Structure 1
C-alpha cells in the first residue's frame, strides 16, 4: 500500500498530466505490482496530515527488534485538492494492483491550456519538494521534482548517510515524454554513473492532430487501437569503475477500447548478464487478476517461476448491480468507493509464499502479511508484520 507521501506525489503527477507509465522504467509495472509486493516487517504506525493544499507532513513509528521511525515533509507549488482522510481515500488509489494503460493525450488539447500557457513568462512550472529524516540513524532523504514543460520533467534524488561512500549520493534525472516515444537521461554521483533509457510505442502517434482513435473496438487486439506494443532499452556506464550495463525489453498491453479481458505481456533481456524474463498478467474479472513470471539465465541455466493472484473484496451488491457486472466489461462497472479490501498471494518454484491483506478498519488503513518457506519445516514462518496508517 502506498504511504501518504507517495499518494500525494502520485496526485501531483496526475494533476500535472505526467504519464509515469510511458517510460522504460515502468515496462514491467503490472507484474511488479502483482508479484513483488512488500510484506510488512514487524509493527509500524503511520500518522499523516495535509495541513493545507500545498503542505503535508507524515510521522512513522516502527518496532522490529529496535524502535525506529521517520519524519517527512512535503511542499508543492501546485495546490492539491484531494481526499486526504484515511476514511475517504479510495483503496484503489493506494493499492498497487494490475495497471491499466490509458490512451495518449495530445498536448494541444484544450484542457491542457488550463495548465500550460503559450507565453514563457506565464508558463507554469510546478515544483514538489520532499524530505524524510530516518531515526535513529539520522539518514536524510530528499526529492526535488519540477515540471519544466508539458513534455519534460526534472527529478533530483538525494541521500545523506554516513555509511555510504562520500557520505551520500545524488541522482539527477531528466525525462522527456512525447507520447510516441520517451527518453530519460540519468547521472549519479555514485561512481559518476551515466545512464540513458528510451521507449518507443508502435502505432498511434498522439503528436498528429489528425490521428483520431476509432470509437469502435478493432477486430484484432494486436491492432494499435486495441493494444499498444512498446519497445525500449537502457544503457549505463561508470567511468570510475570501468563498468557498463545494457538491457532491452518489449511490452504489449491492451487499451480500454479492447473488448476482451485486459492483459499485459512483457519480455526483457540483459545480454551482458544473460538474464531473460517474461511476464503475463491478466485482469480475469472485475475483482481478480493473475500474473506469472519466468526467469532464465542463458549462462548458468538457472531458472525461476513465480505466480500470483490478486482478489478484491467489495460491499454486498444488489441483484441489479451483479447482473450489470456480468454483462459489462470490468472497467465500466468498477466503483472505487465500494472496495473494502484486497488479498495478494504469490508462490515461486522454491515453495516460498507471500501473503498480504490490505483493508480499511473504520478510520484506519490496515496492511498485514507474512512470508512462508514451505520447504523449511523447522522455520516455516519468516517475515510477518502489521502496518496501520491514519491521515487527516
Structure 2
C-alpha cells in the first residue's frame, strides 16, 4: 500500500497531467505490483495530515528491534484537491495492483500554460518539495520535483547518511513525455553514473490523431518497446537492458491482460511476465526468469483478490442458489470495496500473503512471508501497518 506521502506525490503528478505509465521504468509495473509486494515487519503506525491544499505532514513510528520512526513534510505549489482522508480514499488509488493502461493523450501545447496579466507573463511552473528524517539513524532524504513544460519535468532526489560513501548521494532525472515516445536522462553522484532510457509506443500518434480518427479506428491494444543504457565514469563499468510490452486498452472487450519481455544481455538475464485481470475482482500473474549464462531459472506465481463490502452479499448468493431465475444484481461501483488479498509463491516454495484494506477510518496492511521448506522456521516475517490521515 502506498504511504501517505507517496499518495500525495501521485496526486501532484495527476493534477499536473503527467502520465506516470509512459516510461521505460514502469514497463513491468503490473508484474511488480502483483509479485514484488513487501510484507511489513513488526508493528508500524503512520499518522498524516493535509493541513492545506499545498502542505502535508506525516509521522511514522515502528517497532522492528529498537523503536524507530520518521518525520516528513511536503509542499506543493499546485493545490491538491484529491481525497486524502483515510476514511474517504478510494482503495484502488493507494493499493498497487493490476494497472489498466489508458489511451495515450496528446501533450498540452506550451502556450496553454501561459498566463498573462497587463501584458506580462505571470505564470510559474508547478513544483513539489519533500523531506523526510529517519530516527534514530538521523538519515535525511529529500525530493525536488518541478514541471518545466507540458512534456518535461525535472526530478532531483538526495539522501544524506554518514554510512554512505561521501556522506550521501544525489540523483537527477530529466523526463520527457511526448505521448508517442518518452525519454529519460539521469545522473547520480554515486560512481558518477550517467544513464539514458527510452520508450516507444507503436500505433497511432496522439499528437496528430483527431476525434474522427479515434471514432473510425478504435485501438484495442498497445505494443511498446524500450531500452536503457548507463555507465559509471568512476568505476568504468556500465550496463544496459531492453524490453517490450503488449497490453490491452479499455476498448478491449475481453479480459484485460499485459505481457512483457525484458533482456539484460550483459548479465544474461531474460524475464517474461504475463498478467491477466480474470474478473472484476481477480487478477493473476506469472513471471519466468532465465539466465542463459548459468542456465538458472526461476518461476513465480501471484494473484490478487478484491473483496466487496456489503452485509447482504451472502444473502444475495443464497437467493441465487435457491432461485436460478433470480434477477442478477447490479455491479457495485469500484469504490465499494473492503480490501484486497494478495499472494505469491515461487518454485522454491517461498511464499507471501498480504491483506490490505480499511477498518472504519484506518487503512491497514497485514502480511506474512514464509518458507514452506523450512519446517523448523516457516515464518520469516509477520507485520501490521496502520495508516490514519486527515
- So what's the TM-score if we normalise by structure 2? 0.92
CA offsets, 1:220-245, max 9 Å, x none? xxxxx110000000000011000010
Alignment of 1:369 with 2:363, yes or no, is no
Alpha carbons of 1:216 and 1:374: their partners in 2 closer, same or farther (altered >3 Å)?
Answer: farther
The equivalent residue for 2:89 is 89
Shift of 1:105: 1.4
The equivalent residue for 2:323 is none
Q: Please give the alpha-carbon distance, in whole angstroms, between the structure 1 residues aligned to 2:328 and 2:226.
A: 41
Unaligned runs of 5+ in 2: 321-325
Unaligned runs of 5+ in 1: 219-224, 326-333
Larger radius of gyration: 2
Among 274, 292, 297, the alignment partner of 2:286 is 292
The equivalent residue for 2:346 is 348
The equivalent residue for 1:196 is 196
Alignment of 1:117 with 2:114, yes or no, is yes
The equivalent residue for 1:48 is 48
The equivalent residue for 1:106 is 106
Shift of 1:217: 8.0
Q: Please give the alpha-carbon distance, in whole angstroms, between the structure 1 residues aligned to 2:387 and 2:263.
A: 38
Among 338, 357, 380, the alignment partner of 2:378 is 380
Q: Please give the alpha-carbon distance, in whole angstroms, between the structure 2 residues aligned to 1:258 and 1:71.
A: 44
DSSP-derived class of the 2:205 partner: coil
C-alpha contact (below 8 Å) 1:354/1:371 kept by paired residues = yes
CA offsets, 1:113-167, max 9 Å, x none? 8x72377934441000000000000000000000000000000000000000000
DSSP-derived class of the 2:14 partner: helix
Alignment root-mean-square deviation, CA: 1.9
C-alpha contact (below 8 Å) 1:204/1:211 kept by paired residues = no
* Count of equivalent residues: 375
C-alpha contact (below 8 Å) 1:42/1:384 kept by paired residues = yes
The equivalent residue for 2:62 is 62
Among 275, 293, 309, the alignment partner of 1:281 is 275
Q: Please give the alpha-carbon distance, in whole angstroms, between the structure 2 residues aligned to 1:116 and 1:314.
A: 41
The equivalent residue for 1:260 is 254
Query: Map of 1:1-392 to 2, 5 A cutoff?
Result: 1-108=1-108, 116-117=113-114, 121-210=121-210, 212-215=212-215, 225-316=219-310, 323-325=329-331, 335-392=333-390
Q: Please give the alpha-carbon distance, in whole angstroms, between the structure 2 residues aligned to 1:213 and 1:253.
A: 21
Shift of 1:335: 1.9
- So what's the TM-score if we normalise by structure 1? 0.92
Alpha carbons of 1:2 and 1:216: their partners in 2 closer, same or farther (altered >3 Å)?
Answer: farther
Q: Please give the alpha-carbon distance, in whole angstroms, between the structure 2 residues aligned to 1:159 and 1:355.
A: 31
DSSP-derived class of the 1:285 partner: coil
C-alpha contact (below 8 Å) 2:108/2:151 kept by paired residues = no
Q: Which moved further from structure 2: 118-127 or 258-267?
A: 118-127
C-alpha contact (below 8 Å) 1:311/1:344 kept by paired residues = yes
C-alpha contact (below 8 Å) 1:217/1:257 kept by paired residues = no
Shift of 1:90: 1.0
C-alpha contact (below 8 Å) 1:173/1:186 kept by paired residues = yes
C-alpha contact (below 8 Å) 1:371/1:383 kept by paired residues = yes
C-alpha contact (below 8 Å) 2:41/2:382 kept by paired residues = yes
DSSP-derived class of the 2:148 partner: strand
Q: Please give the alpha-carbon distance, in whole angstroms, between the structure 2 residues aligned to 1:360 and 1:138.
A: 32
Q: Please give the alpha-carbon distance, in whole angstroms, between the structure 2 residues aligned to 1:28 and 1:248.
A: 12
CA offsets, 1:339-381, max 9 Å, x none? 1110000000010010000111111111000001000011001
Alpha carbons of 1:322 and 1:136: their partners in 2 closer, same or farther (altered >3 Å)?
Answer: farther
DSSP-derived class of the 2:9 partner: helix
Alpha carbons of 1:197 and 1:367: their partners in 2 closer, same or farther (altered >3 Å)?
Answer: same
